[in-house]
């Protein structure tokens, strides 16, 4: 299930190495080399080595996912002990109620915004910090710190910074010389952009790192050849380096877009879905519904989210992989 793996932040590491180091045009194996015999391969990598990882995967991922499918068709709630199958009733009532569709819309807008900002910032940082100087190394670490910070902590810090009497308005007041009291988190149109920026700020260090790794894989010869031909920095970047970054772009765009569809913590800490429900991501809606004791409905929503992510993930990743064909 590649889509899911990409959507789950915990597995970012594995994909990262996979997509960055994957060099598709590797020299084909010499035809003279003996093809390894199947039984020998078996000896080298016995299948049962997979068992420990598989158990964890089954218990913490497959079973909950299957449960997710099952409970969506029941009337599980905190109000009674029995759980009965009720068919597609949950789906019907959810889709006839506008809140779910609104939350889905908000989630998609949020995900697209995060994907754009996070990649833009990550790429700019990677280009700025590309050279391996001491200063650059230190600055890279500084930009990576938010990635390992608790998302809730980030959310609460930004909430304090962005409130009308917060530090940001204080700085703006000081600089402009007049009283500034913008409610950054209180605008029904623009707050979603602000929150997406916060999310992108938190994760841009990771994108930066991956773009840096991608830039390192570009052969010096290619860049040098371009230089000798008199190509400007911008032309080199646009025509050569950026296309060669395709695997990094695939990973970064896919994780940012699909990962932020599962977003919850930062938005919950900054706006709780407000103002006026304009930042109510599907996960916040799910959390609220679960809190009401409507466990089956919440499960149905999370199934809808799961399916939405899947539907988006397959075409998105295949389009992005297509771009890698230049390699």
In the complex, the residues that contact other proteins under the rule CB under 8 A are: 58, 62-63, 66-67, 70-71, 74-83, 93, 97, 99, 163-164, 183, 185-186, 188, 272-278, 287-288, 290-297
Q: Could you tell me the smallest distance in angstroms from the CB atom of residue 83 to other proteins? A: 5
| Residues whose CB is less than 8 angstroms from the CB of residue 166 and which lie 6 or more positions away in sequence, other chains included | 160, 184
| Distance in angstroms (rounded) separating the CA atoms of residues 308 and 56 | 25
Q: Could you tell me the smallest distance in angstroms from the CB atom of residue 43 to other proteins? A: 17
**Termini Cα distance of the chain:** 25
DSSP string, 19-76: HHH--TTPPPPPTTSPPPPHHHHHHHS-GGGGHHHHHHHIIIIIHHHHHHHHHTTB--
CB 286 within 8 A of CB 262: no
Q: Could you tell me the smallest distance in angstroms from the CB atom of residue 179 to other proteins? A: 13
Q: Could you tell me the smallest distance in angstroms from the CB atom of residue 235 to other proteins? A: 47
Nearer to other proteins, 32 or 81 (CB): 81
Nearer to other proteins, 71 or 143 (CB): 71
Nearer to other proteins, 65 or 308 (CB): 65
What would the two tokens of residue 268 be?
């919950």
| Distance in angstroms (rounded) separating the CA atoms of residues 146 and 142 | 8
Distances (CA, A) of 269 to 24, 143, 266: 42, 21, 5
The residue behind tokens 């994108």 is 207
Nearer to other proteins, 59 or 311 (CB): 59
| Distance in angstroms (rounded) separating the CA atoms of residues 93 and 78 | 19
Nearer to other proteins, 62 or 233 (CB): 62
What would the two tokens of residue 209 be?
């790192």
Q: Could you tell me the smallest distance in angstroms from the CB atom of residue 70 to other proteins? A: 6
Nearer to other proteins, 76 or 158 (CB): 76
CA 31 to the chain's CA centroid: 41
Nearer to other proteins, 162 or 316 (CB): 162
Q: Could you tell me the smallest distance in angstroms from the CB atom of residue 273 to other proteins? A: 8
111 sits in the region (left: phi over 0; alpha: psi -120 to 50; else beta) called alpha
Q: Could you tell me the smallest distance in angstroms from the CB atom of residue 169 to other proteins? A: 11
């Amino acid at each position: 299930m590649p889509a899911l793996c990409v959507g789950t932040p915990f597995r970012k590491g594995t994909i990262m190495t996979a997509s960055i180091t994957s060099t598709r045009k590797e020299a084909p194996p010499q035809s003279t080399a003996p093809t390894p015999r199947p039984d020998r391969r078996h000896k080298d990598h016995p299948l049962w080595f997979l068992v420990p990882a598989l158990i964890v995967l089954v218990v913490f991922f497959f079973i909950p996912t299957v449960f997710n499918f099952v409970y969506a068709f029941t009337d599980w709630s905190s109000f009674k002990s029995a759980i009965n199958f009720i068919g597609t009733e949950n789906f019907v009532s959810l889709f006839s109620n506008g809140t779910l569709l609104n939350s889905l819309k908000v989630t998609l807008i949020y995900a697209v915004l995060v994907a754009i900002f996070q990649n833009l910032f990550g790429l700019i940082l990677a280009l700025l910090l590309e050279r391996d100087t001491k200063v650059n190394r230190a600055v890279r670490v500084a930009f990576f710190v938010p990635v390992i910070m608790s998302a809730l902590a980030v959310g609460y810090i930004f909430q304090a910074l962005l409130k009308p009497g917060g530090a940001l308005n204080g700085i703006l007041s000081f600089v402009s010389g007049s009283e500034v009291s913008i409610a950054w988190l209180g605008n029904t149109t623009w707050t979603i952009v602000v929150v997406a920026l916060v999310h992108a700020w938190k994760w841009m260090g990771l994108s930066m790192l991956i773009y840096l790794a991608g830039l390192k894989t570009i052969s010096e010869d290619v860049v040098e050849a371009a230089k000798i031909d008199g190509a400007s920095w911008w032309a080199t970047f646009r025509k050569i380096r950026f296309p060669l970054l395709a695997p990094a772009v695939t990973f970064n765009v896919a994780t940012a877009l699909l990962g932020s569809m599962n977003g919850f913590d930062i938005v919950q800490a900054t706006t709780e879905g407000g103002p006026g429900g304009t930042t109510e991501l599907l996960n916040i809606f799910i959390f609220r519904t679960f809190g009401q004791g409507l466990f089956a409905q919440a499960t149905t929503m999370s199934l809808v989210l799961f399916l939405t992510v899947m539907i988006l993930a397959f075409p998105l990743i295949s389009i992005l992989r297509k771009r890698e064909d230049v390699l």
